[in-house]
Amino acid sequence: MKISVVGTGYVGLVTGVCLAEIGHDVTCIDINENKVKLLNSGKSPIYEPGLEELMVKNIEEKRLGFTNDLEKGYHGAEVIYIAVGTPQKEDGSADLSFVEGVAKDIAAYLRNDTIVVVKSTVPVGTNEQVLNIINSLIDKKYYVSIVSNPEFLREGSAVKDTFNGDRIVIGFEDDIAGQVLEEVNKPFGIPIFKTDVRSSEMIKYASNAFLATKISFINEIANICEKLNANIEDVSKGMGLDQRIGQHFLNAGIGYGGSCFPKDTKALVQIAGENFYDFELLSSVIKVNSSQQLILLEKLRDRLGNLRGKQIALWGLAFKPNTDDMREAPSIAITRKLIEEGAQVLAYDPIAIDNAKHVLRKEVSYANSFTDAIKGADALLILTEWNEVKQFNLSEIHEYMAAPIIIDGRNCFELDEARKANVEYYSIGRPPITLGK
Ligand SMILES: NC(=O)C1=CN([C@@H]2O[C@H](COP(=O)(O)OP(=O)(O)OC[C@H]3O[C@@H](n4cnc5c(N)ncnc54)[C@H](O)[C@@H]3O)[C@@H](O)[C@H]2O)C=CC1
Ligand SMILES: O=C(O)[C@H]1O[C@H](OP(=O)(O)OP(=O)(O)OC[C@H]2O[C@@H](n3ccc(=O)[nH]c3=O)[C@H](O)[C@@H]2O)[C@H](O)[C@@H](O)[C@@H]1O
């Protein structure tokens, strides 16, 4: 099938590459010329395990191309995927200007019947709006139908998720369009859940909101565990063994970040509000997450007192491991506060430093390695659970820090390990390890 994918961000690029891999003839369109140049030279603009290799393979096998020439990009497409951003506006609602812009572009270049698939995360009713925009602008001899196909991939495992997802959701009113999308996706071998367009749009927001709720819930349980000297790791495991609860997304930490949970939870509260419904539970989830992002600082102040002039090392800046994405990373709020309180911050992240430089306060300095960051530090804060962090031999920390104080926002180490390594270790929802204990 001849497919065009509009937007080559985390979702569009992965979708385009994976659709090519299952045999479709794919053209990816982006208005960002630099991105397209990079992509055409076989380089991925984002860090995503396995993506670049698969991309190069499909370019070589002539099933995948990139362009910023809209006429060429849209020409002859039987299916057009919209995968552009839907960022958060100031009031929390979703900014649909990119999606609407693409709808106008599609109308301007349409020369055949087409199925438009909305992959971007959009408020209920947006698919209808997109179809109305296109239909109001095109020659009536062309027939356009719309299919909602929300995306559930996670950054850092996007390619793997695309080939191994739990479900593919397609929402449609036009049965033929639904059948075509089912055919397009069949080679993935993933169960396909069919529904109407509005329910499909809601499935995406409800799924992200539910996952965010799990995280804020377990973080509050962790905070209570700390007061009661219980251990959140065991509490999560014990809860997760109940299949009705499930073991996933019960890792306590410094809260969720990233390009989607923060914006999609806020957008859903906004959508509910516009329809005269106060989504109290989700509003609390968001509030809990904001406080949780700063919980390490409370622990740091408890231990060091005033932070003025203190040298603080940070391990990890990205909102999660295996990605260079810094959007809404907890490190942004944490570094802002540290700088405001007069601390000197030296940070290391294996992948995200280039992006971090654009969003963190300019006072933050960057190290060349994890160990470089902790040399002479008064305390270490762990913000991202990179494998290199989890595999670090804690006993070696004495070579770099005279009196190691570690405040771990991602529970990377077993308490016993910290005890044996003779370090002071404060984590989330677990008893502290203080020297001699
Ligand atoms: N990042 C993620 O892990 C996930 C994102 N989503 C949703 O997918 C959508 C896309 O997200 P990302 O890929 O993160 O966005 P992104 O911001 O990384 O990429 C969007 C791309 O669209 C391009 N673009 C904007 N207007 C255009 C136009 N008129 N024509 C062609 N290209 C255009 C931009 O240049 C950019 O390269 C959002 O709605 C997001 O909520 C859904 C699931 C996962
Ligand atoms: O809509 C989206 O963009 C995507 O949002 C999330 O994916 P992503 O943001 O890439 O990453 P997650 O692995 O879900 O992690 C999100 C945040 O939650 C945090 N998290 C996750 C799980 C957990 O148990 N505890 C926890 O604090 C992570 O550290 C991270 O900051 C969803 O998992 C995807 O299904 C969805 O497609």
Residue range 2-195, CATH number: 3.40.50.720
> pTM of the entire structure?
0.96
Using CA of residue 121, residue 124, residue 129, residue 131, what is the dihedral sign? Answer: positive
Ligand 1 pocket check for 8: Cβ under 6 Å: yes
Ligand 1 pocket check for 10: Cβ under 6 Å: yes
* Residue that is written with structure tokens 């390490």 in the block: 296
Q: Which atom of ligand 2 is nearest to the CA of 154?
A: 10
Tell me how far apart the alpha carbons of residues 205 and 265 are, in angstroms, rounded to a whole number: 7
Residue (of 64, 48, 41, 59) closest to 9 by Cα position: 48
The encoded tokens of residue 76 equal 């002859």
Phi, psi dihedral angles at 390 (to 5 degrees): -60, -30
Task: Report the pLDDT value the prediction gives residue 59, as an integer from 0 to 100.
Answer: 97
pLDDT digits (tens, 9 = 90+) for 149-186: 999 999 999 999 999 999 999 999 999 999 999 999 99
Q: Which atom of ligand 1 is nearest to the CA of 46?
A: 18
CA–centroid distance, residue 305 to ligand 2 (Å): 33
Q: How would you class 175 by CB atoms within 10 Å of its CB: exposed for 0-12, middle for 13-18, buried for 19 or more?
A: exposed
The encoded tokens of residue 10 equal 């985390």
Residue (of 429, 400, 198) closest to 421 by Cα position: 400
CA–centroid distance, residue 205 to ligand 2 (Å): 13
Q: Is the ipTM of this complex over 0.95?
A: yes
pLDDT digits (tens, 9 = 90+) for 362-400: 999 999 999 999 999 999 999 999 999 999 999 999 999
Ligand 1 pocket check for 48: Cβ under 6 Å: no
The encoded tokens of residue 209 equal 């909101």
Tell me how far apart the alpha carbons of residues 105 and 91 are, in angstroms, rounded to a whole number: 27
Q: Write the residue with the smallest CA distance to atom 21 of ligand 1.
A: 7
| Per-residue CA distances from 67 to 27, 37, 72, 168, 271 (Å) | 7, 8, 8, 27, 35
Residue (of 378, 321, 374) closest to 352 by Cα position: 321
Q: Which atom of ligand 1 is nearest to the CA of 155?
A: 3
Residues 382, 360 contacting (CB under 8 angstroms): no
Ligand 1 pocket check for 98: Cβ under 6 Å: yes
Ligand 1 pocket check for 100: Cβ under 6 Å: no
Q: Which atom of ligand 2 is nearest to the CA of 207?
A: 35
Task: Report the pLDDT value the prediction gives residue 349, as an integer from 0 to 100.
Answer: 98
Ligand 1 pocket check for 11: Cβ under 6 Å: yes
Architecture of domain 204-291: Orthogonal Bundle (1.10)
Catalytic residue list: 260
Residue among 84, 86, 239, 261 to mutate when testing ligand 2 (max atoms within 8 A of CB) = 261
Q: Which atom of ligand 2 is nearest to the CA of 153?
A: 37
Q: Write the residue with the smallest CA distance to atom 16 of ligand 2.
A: 256
CA–centroid distance, residue 205 to ligand 1 (Å): 16
Residue type, 121: T
Residues 325, 10 contacting (CB under 8 angstroms): yes
Tell me how far apart the alpha carbons of residues 427 and 433 are, in angstroms, rounded to a whole number: 9
Ligand 2, CB cutoff 6 Å, lining residues:
121, 151-155, 208, 211, 215, 249-251, 253, 256-261, 319-320
CATH 1.10.1040.10 domain span(s) along the chain: 204-291
Task: Report the pLDDT value the prediction gives residue 402, as an integer from 0 to 100.
Answer: 85
Ligand 1 pocket check for 324: Cβ under 6 Å: no
Q: Which atom of ligand 1 is nearest to the CA of 120?
A: 39
Domain boundaries 294-426, CATH class? alpha beta
Residue type, 395: S
Q: Which ranges of 275-379 would DSSP assign to H, the alpha helix?
A: 280-293, 295-304, 330-340, 353-359, 370-374
CATH 3.40.50.720 domain span(s) along the chain: 2-195, 294-426
Ligand closest to the CA atom of residue 386: 2
Task: Report the pLDDT value the prediction gives residue 437, as an integer from 0 to 100.
Answer: 55
DSSP string spanning 400-433? T-SS-EEEETT--S-HHHHHHHT-EEE-SSS--B
Residue among 4, 8, 10, 355 to mutate when testing ligand 1 (max atoms within 8 A of CB) = 10
Q: Which ranges of 229-369 would DSSP assign to H, the alpha helix?
A: 232-240, 261-274, 280-293, 295-304, 330-340, 353-359
CA–centroid distance, residue 86 to ligand 2 (Å): 17
Which ranges of the chain have pLDDT less than 70? 436-437
Task: Report the pLDDT value the prediction gives residue 435, as an integer from 0 to 100.
Answer: 83
Residue among 11, 215, 268, 289 to mutate when testing ligand 2 (max atoms within 8 A of CB) = 215
Task: Report the pLDDT value the prediction gives residue 395, as an integer from 0 to 100.
Answer: 95
